[in-house]
Amino acid sequence: MSSTVTQRKKKTSRQKRAMVASLVIAAVIAMGSTFAWFTSKDKVTNELSAKSTYDVSIVETYNPPTNPTPGTSITKEVAAVNTGNTAAYVQVSLENALSVTNKVASASYMLGKDYTTVTTIPTGALTIDITQTVTINGGTGYTAVQALQAGGQLVYAAGTLYSTGDLNGVNSETYTPSASGLYVFYRNTDDTYVGYYYDSSTTTYYEVTNIEVGDGASHDYTNATYWKFSFVTTETKSTSDTPSPISMTFSSVIYSSTSTNQVGIGLSDSSYIQAIYDPDSSSGSGDEIIVDIALAGTWKNVSSTNVWVSDDWAAVYVTASKTWTFYYKHILSAGTTSEDLVTSMMIDESVTSSAYTEFTYDLNVSLESVQVVGLETSINDVYLVEIPSSSITWDYTTNSTGDNKSAANNKTIYVNSEGQVCTSIGTVTEKNNLLSWTKSSK
């Protein structure tokens, strides 16, 4: 019995060992299966692409009318726009271009006793339009020739000198010439002579000027021995002429509506500069062409060195070249547009019809800019200016003294958000220092 028990125990022991071994194998298999569930392979490529675009340009609104008259304001809004993704520092320059046609006197002719008559009318001589009617003292139906004659006394007609008695039979308002030659009318109200040259073969009237009587003694037509006069022709000049271009320059100050020393009448509600063509360099003589260019904002002079500022722009007038350069006082961030610099233009009200027969004026706006890189974000927003010294010479202007400080060899020029030259931590060393640049000779 005991043997049987012993055998049972042994069997039971073997059974237990078999069961344990089975459980261990099962556990190993289970563990192996668990590890397999968390084993995987994967590949992720994280790609970052970047492209810097730099595009700063001029944006404007300009729709000029046809043949504007003096005193007519013309909208011309000029600003800078940054359509790239890189901040920039901006400089804008203004330049004049003018083509003007004026009335000028031809060579002088002398007619009368012992002087030859005109055989050839000069090329380009201006004619008088006899189809256009004008109003005189409320009347109608006068041609330009009749208007010229009206109120005068005929004193010379194609070689015939009229004495005082002969004048009684001539109605100057309705008088019509018959023979070719010079016709002169005397206006005793202001002691002047007016007239025209008539060509009977073509029934054409030509403008004349500078009419003088030659009597050897006084300004008296009754003793005339000859008449001296010039035909009126035209002359076109341009700022682009070679080798003798005409000069149209800017005024050296920025005027306001309260300025008293401007060349012309000027704009009444704006700060503005004037582009001036003065052929005889005699201001106020009536032959000037003046264009007023309105600037946005209120401007003030901050130094004696031709530096002016508004809230958004700073301007420097260069005396040698008589030109203006404007600096945007803020960094032009990507995707932004500056405040306007120019808002309108106007032919000054002081410009007279004797100043031109026709002219074309162009205000050329040019922009230069340089990329800036933000170094840090502080109360001053300091930027490092990247200087391409191989092609550009860089300077900055000290408003307090007017000295230009060279930055051409310095690659670490710092500018704050107001466009002022400063230290790397944003400290402005001299008030209103403005970064500026000019193209070098390279």
Contacts of 268 (CB under 8 A, 6+ apart): 257
Pairing type for strands 383-385 and 358-374 reads: antiparallel
- Which amino acid is located at 82 in the chain? N
CA 103, CA 230: separation in Å to the nearest integer? 12
Q: Which of 255, 258, 371 is nearest to 324 (CA)?
A: 255
Tokens of 439: 């193209």
191 token code pair: 């002691």
Name the residue type at position 6.
T
Q: Are 195 and 185 in contact (CB under 8 A)?
A: yes
Predicted local distance difference test score (pLDDT) of residue 171: 80
Query: Nearest-CA neighbor of 254 among 320, 289, 302, 286?
Result: 302
Task: Report whether 229 contacts 238 (CB < 8 A).
Answer: no
- Helix (H) / strand (E) element for 415: namely strand 413-415
The span from the CA of 201 to the CA of 183, in Å, is: 16
pLDDT at site 213: 84
Residue 359: strand, helix, or coil: strand
Residue whose pair of structure tokens reads 């003096």 in the numeric block: 70
Nearest to 130 by CA among 118, 114, 142: 142
pLDDT, position 43: 57
- The number of beta carbons lying within 10 Å of the beta carbon of residue 180 is 17
Q: Counting every residue, how long is the chain?
A: 442
What SS3 class is residue 185? Answer: strand
Please answer whether residues 177 and 157 qualify as being in contact, where contact means their C-beta atoms are separated by less than 8 angstroms: yes
Distance between CA atoms of residues 198 and 175, nearest Å: 13
Q: Report pLDDT for 11.
A: 47
pLDDT of residue 326: 93
pLDDT of residue 160: 78
Residue-level pLDDT at 280: 83
Q: Tell me, what's the pLDDT at 33?
A: 35
What residues of the chain score a pLDDT lower than 50?
1-11, 16, 18, 20-21, 23-36, 38-40, 164-166, 168, 441-442
pLDDT at 10: 44
